[in-house]
Amino acid sequence: MSSKEPDGKKPLQKLMDNPWLLLVLGIVIPTLSYTVWGWIELWLVPPAALP
């Protein structure tokens, strides 16, 4: 084993073992992606023709 991994866990496994981090990522990533998607959709909507 290397000196970086005293408990035998790889860095990615340590990251994925943190439930709070997974909770935050599960909320932040969809929120940001849907927000950006909404902004793009609003930007692409053609202006309405007034009667």
Better pLDDT: 1 or 22 = 22
Q: In this structure, are residues 45 and 38 in contact, taking their beta carbons and an 8 Å threshold?
A: no
* Model confidence pTM above 0.85: no
Q: What is the DSSP letter of 50?
A: P
3-state class (DSSP) for residue 29: helix
pLDDT of 2 reads 54
- At residue 3, the pLDDT reads 55
Q: SS3 breakdown of the chain: % helix, strand, coil, rounded to 5? A: 65, 0, 35
pLDDT reading at 51 higher than 70: yes
Q: Is 35 exposed, middle or buried (0-12, 13-18, 19+ CB in 10 A)?
A: exposed
pLDDT at 4: 62
Convert the pLDDT of each residue in 4-50 to its tens digit.
Answer: 656 788 988 988 899 999 999 999 999 999 999 999 999 999 999 98
